[in-house]
Structure 1
């Protein structure tokens, strides 16, 4: 039986396969208002992972019997485009996409003030255009930015990153080989100004000391991402002001 040999993830100079140091984030790009027909939209790129998100609502729920008398219903769809991976993906929603839609919805519900919009629905669509590790977190952050772009009240923006262990080294913002071959993967998302965790998962094994190191590294990276999110929103508001909106 053919065995696939695990590649080296940390090179002799201490750098990772993509040239980053252990505590470095991938390049990040955020753009808001990318879809004319959506109430709010955003593109969020983290390395080679690219996600577009669109928000529609709050709007009247149809059929009406599915509405809730005291809050808005938040509907989230996480989907990977057929061309987002090396091998063409089936366009039909998979069990994993359904599961991650639920994970992202639950994370967003802790941030969106849904009780301000009873008997309505807010639809959030995230489409992974290119997948290279971290698609759930990038989708969550794209959705958070699209909701802010739509002007929907939120407790705080959501920022997140995956930390993990590769060749025994704790690393920030996993890339695809580290996600596939590393010893641990820990995606975490928080609302930074509230210090409230909205998403936390751990696959693999870490010692208590490694877990603390990974958590501290994640918080460091999240603070950088949060500042980039705020800057993207600030630029969007300046754009509105210049256009006289």
Structure 2
């Protein structure tokens, strides 16, 4: 699909959105009682579940313990039914999912106050139940809510969004058809209060001006997502307060 086909003459995308418009976001916290924290998020047709355990003592070899902070362990996976592909996936994921798990760990090491829990471990599990674009970014947003549900102190929310370019127009929060078009794309994880970038990943080299266009679109999308996630957290706190009052 050519880049020109991603936008209509009236400036609408394939799914009817404006270039800077996010897909509809739905999210819930506390979906698993057995976990210390959990969350489920839908961004358009992308559906992701995140579960958090910890902080707890390290499992296995104690030589991995960090004397000054907690060890953050992350696992990222795609459910076998998450895409239309029929190829068989390895039981523990492939090279790409292992790389995304590493990115996930790097992202949250920048946000979690790990120094409060020396010689302990925090586990973050993210599973994509339905993949329709922006999978990793939706995973970051779900993991943020799960960590907050677990009561793990963080510097700030971590909000993530993808962005791309259709000709000279920046597109925020890419869907799968837009990703599949093969144009330049980036994924951004942002701590919105400080403006600190926890992760920035590019799929291709870009001229500085075009990079700034895509980056500005992703930054605006992350700030819009922050308002959505903040509302979800506040709703969860109200529910918890009401439960305590009862």
- Whether TM-score is above 0.5 comes out as yes
Other structure's SS at 2:99 match:
helix
The reply on whether 1:61 has 2:58 as its aligned counterpart is yes
Q: Give the match for residue 79 of structure 2.
A: 81
Q: Give the match for residue 161 of structure 1.
A: 161
The reply on whether 1:11 has 2:8 as its aligned counterpart is yes
Shift of 1:167: 3.9
Q: Give the match for residue 97 of structure 1.
A: 97
User: In structure 2, how many angstroms separate the alpha carbons of the residues matched to 1:51 and 1:91?
Assistant: 19
Matched-pair contact (CA < 8 Å) for 1:183–1:205: no
Matched-pair contact (CA < 8 Å) for 1:10–1:167: no
Cα displacement string for residues 64-99 of structure 1 (whole angstroms, at most 9, x for unaligned residues): 232222211110000000000011352521111111
Q: Structure 2: 5+ residue runs without aligned partners?
A: none
Shift of 1:240: 0.4
Q: Give the match for residue 33 of structure 2.
A: 36
User: In structure 2, how many angstroms separate the alpha carbons of the residues matched to 1:42 and 1:91?
Assistant: 25
The reply on whether 1:52 has 2:53 as its aligned counterpart is no
User: In structure 2, how many angstroms separate the alpha carbons of the residues matched to 1:12 and 1:75?
Assistant: 47
User: In structure 2, how many angstroms separate the alpha carbons of the residues matched to 1:32 and 1:231?
Assistant: 11
Return structure 1 stretches of 4+ with deviation > 4 angstroms: none
Shift of 1:205: 4.5
Matched-pair contact (CA < 8 Å) for 1:81–1:91: no
The number of equivalent residue pairs is: 241
RMSD of aligned alpha carbons: 1.5
Matches within 5 A, 1:1-245: 6=2, 8-63=5-60, 64-88=62-86, 89-92=88-91, 93-244=93-244
TM-score (norm 1): 0.93
Q: Structure 1: 5+ residue runs without aligned partners?
A: none
User: In structure 2, how many angstroms separate the alpha carbons of the residues matched to 1:59 and 1:139?
Assistant: 22
User: In structure 2, how many angstroms separate the alpha carbons of the residues matched to 1:241 and 1:34?
Assistant: 17
User: In structure 1, how many angstroms separate the alpha carbons of the residues matched to 2:199 and 2:42?
Assistant: 19
TM-score (norm 2): 0.93
